[in-house]
Structure 1
Amino acid sequence: MTGHDHVSQSLALASESQFPMMASRADFLSQILTLIRLRGELIFSAELHAPWGLRLGNGSGYFHVVSEGELWLTASDGKAVHAVAGDLLVMLQGTGHAIGTPGVKPIEARKLLEAQLRDDSLSIRLEGNGPVTRLVTGAFRFEGDNMPSMLAVLPSVIHIQGSTKGEDQEWLKVLANSLLSEAQAPHPGAAIMISRLIDVLVIRAMRIWVRTAPPEEKGWLAALADARISRALKAIHDEPFRRRLVAELAAIAGMSRSNFAERFSTLVGAGPLHYQTRWRLLLASDMLRRSDARVSEVARRVGYESEAAFSRAFKAQFGIPPVMTRVS
């Protein structure tokens, strides 16, 4: 086998193994979520007696599982959410937020964590005379720079209410308890286990949210609820390296070209061709991270006639030139 053939085969196998849902034509959301890889940074429990307030800083995504009591969360964009026992709050954008009881100036959570967390006690406590709120909180980061650009159009807070989860109620308790157990009694592999559990929690939260949130809060994921637009999206994702014209996608959707383009742009937040290019480049970026292929080989694999054209498109999309960043 020649070196060129070896690289081509590696690329084909990488595409099939990294994105198996393309071959199986599974659902669109699974294709999106395939690119989400999280690294768990911190897990802790909190016992917080009113009045109290905490501010969590920029740079990380967070989740809070409210196991007892209630809290108010204020996101960086000013959005306020009231959560009670059984609720899950997920902040994906890494822009920081505050939690607590109304009218209390929050203190920096970092300082409290530094003062109270120990290797054998991943918990914090705030004394007070009022009702208690108990939380399981986690911080995480996305590995790679691509997925946050897609998540940035989602709400600053995803709020999954315990009263509406039904059969989903139990999985949240199990995950929260498992996360704390791994964090408080670490065994070999605990770090990767925590990351995987956080991965499951965030993905499942997104699945529930897509199913239950009002359309106006879903950003580009609102397209999942539109039967015609979702057919076009599925076509793009099933054959990501095929270049389709707007007219062809409109025909798949069963709409006129103009109506399709307008509807697609409204729901997705980008025109059909722009979205098609962005998705192709997201996959290309992932290939560069996860395979031994050269930039020129990835460029050809995803449909660019030259490495220069691919590099220009890649830099226009992500602000940096394409480089191979093999993840071991």
Structure 2
Amino acid sequence: MKDSKKAQKSRNRVVDRSTFAEVGYPDTIEEQGDALSQVLRLVRLRGHAVIDGELGALGEVIFPPGRASFLHLRDGEAVLVPREGGPLLLQAGDSVLSLHADGFTLQDGSSSEGTRVLKAKISFRAGHQTQNVRWAANSDIVGRFLACAFHFDTGPPGSFIVGLPRLIHIKCHNGRIPQWLDAISRFLIDEAITAGPGSSILISLLIDLLVIRTLCTWINGRGKRLDGLFGLRDERIGRALNAIHLNPAHGWTVESLAEIAAMSRSNFSDRFTASVGVPPLRYVTRWRLTVAADLLRAGKLKVMEVAQTAGYGSEAAFSRAFKAQFGYPPRDSRRLADAEASVSENPESD
């Protein structure tokens, strides 16, 4: 009970941000830049597969569910059929990001019912693997593509992923592939094919770069509105989220957030909960714990120091909240981070 009162009291004060700055977390709004960067800095990926593929006429490639994936149609034309929703026509240069790991099918758009379809199922098993695959009938290639499979590191970004569209489609305008996409794709394919010492971590970083850059491109196309990350259409709620992400160490209250949103306390609370899925202060807690998890995984601070930085009056209260969100105690964060890094460097085959 005492811990609960201390935790409640800590939410009503401004938390000392100096500890964030000591471990590289920006202290001022000017240093922070933008809220999107603050969200994306906590998104860490682990790449599993790189596929340099060719799709043949009447061909169909099945991408199974279970892994998030990125697909870039390097040339030609194809149709992407998601497990839910209508088909997407992909043209040369288009990219598709599937963060919910639903799986999808890539097929020749000219195929029709009753036509024999050549099928090939890609398995995104654990561990890095590279596939150079060709599904073509009589060398009749209708499209070439790059595909990557990955999963998110522990310390998940919570609502960030949950609220995103199931498929993010980035169209290539006027058939001109962005220079950054062409360069990273070629580099990734080359690194995957000529894999050597250090390639494992480099491939993961390149996949990370592709995903983050694609997300930034999508956000920029929406007028740089951070609320788009959460599927929100309420600009006022978006302003409150922006403030939380820019300054997680602040002692936010419903009143202070409602003021930023230019709304009454009760109206703000109701609309925030309806839009984001959780009440305002619960979201503030979730975001603080996500940032705290990042600090713990860096291994530069003790648990009590991170607890105080996150606004908790005791290590016990912080530990309970942390375990409730992530499923493991804060003291295990560094060990888990080291174990994951080891697996990434030395993947085992199924």
- Bin the TM-score by the shorter chain: 0.7 to 0.9
In terms of fraction of residues, the more helix-rich structure is 1
Q: Which residue of 2 aligns with 1:41?
A: 48
The one-character-per-residue Cα deviations of 1:157-192 (angstroms, maximum 9, x if unpaired) are: 1110012797x7222111111111211223543322
Q: CA contact under 8 A between 1:44 and 1:137: conserved in structure 2?
A: yes
Which deviates the most, 49-58 or 255-264?
255-264
Query: In the alignment, does 2:151 pair up with 1:141?
Result: yes
Instruction: Give 1:171-320 correspondences, 5 Å limit.
Output: 171-212=180-221, 218=228, 220=230, 222=232, 226=235, 228-320=236-328
Alpha carbons of structure 1 residues 137 and 19: separation in structure 2 relative to 1, 3 Å: farther
Alpha-carbon distance, 1:295 to partner: 3.2
Given residue 174 of structure 1, which amino acid in structure 2 is its aligned partner? Answer: A
Which deviates the most, 91-100 or 316-325?
316-325
Given residue 79 of structure 2, which amino acid in structure 1 is its aligned partner? Answer: W
Query: In the alignment, does 2:64 pair up with 1:51?
Result: no
Alpha-carbon distance, 1:152 to partner: 2.4
Q: Please point out which of 136, 155, 170 is paired with 1:127.
A: 136
Query: In the alignment, does 2:150 pair up with 1:162?
Result: no
Q: Helix, strand or coil: the match of 2:100?
A: coil
Q: Which residue of 1 aligns with 2:122?
A: 109
Q: Could you tell me how far apart the structure 2 residues matched to 1:83 and 1:313 are? A: 44
Q: Which residue of 2 aligns with 1:6?
A: none
Q: Could you tell me how far apart the structure 1 residues matched to 2:97 and 2:294 are? A: 25
Q: Could you tell me how far apart the structure 2 residues matched to 1:124 and 1:21 are? A: 49
Which deviates the most, 80-89 or 17-26?
17-26
User: Which sections of structure 2, spanning at least 5 residues, go unmatched?
Assistant: 1-15, 339-350
Q: Could you tell me how far apart the structure 2 residues matched to 1:49 and 1:20 are? A: 53
Question: In percent, how many aligned pairs have the same letter?
Answer: 38
Q: Could you tell me how far apart the structure 2 residues matched to 1:89 and 1:277 are? A: 32
Q: CA contact under 8 A between 1:68 and 1:86: conserved in structure 2?
A: yes
TM-score, normalised by the number of residues in structure 1: 0.81
Q: Could you tell me how far apart the structure 2 residues matched to 1:14 and 1:186 are? A: 37
TM-score, normalised by the number of residues in structure 2: 0.76
Q: Could you tell me how far apart the structure 2 residues matched to 1:39 and 1:259 are? A: 40
Q: Could you tell me how far apart the structure 1 residues matched to 2:160 and 2:287 are? A: 10
Alpha-carbon distance, 1:24 to partner: 1.0
Q: CA contact under 8 A between 1:294 and 1:324: conserved in structure 2?
A: no
Structural RMSD (CA): 3.3
Higher relative contact order (CA 8 A, sep 6+): 2
Q: Which residue of 1 aligns with 2:342?
A: none
Q: CA contact under 8 A between 2:160 and 2:229: conserved in structure 1?
A: no
Query: In the alignment, does 2:62 pair up with 1:62?
Result: no
Q: Which residue of 1 aligns with 2:78?
A: 71
Q: CA contact under 8 A between 1:241 and 1:303: conserved in structure 2?
A: yes
Given residue 77 of structure 2, which amino acid in structure 1 is its aligned partner? Answer: E
Q: CA contact under 8 A between 1:98 and 1:106: conserved in structure 2?
A: no
For these two proteins, the number of residue pairs brought into alignment is: 309
Query: In the alignment, does 2:97 pair up with 1:87?
Result: no
Q: CA contact under 8 A between 1:21 and 1:27: conserved in structure 2?
A: no
Given residue 132 of structure 1, which amino acid in structure 2 is its aligned partner? Answer: V
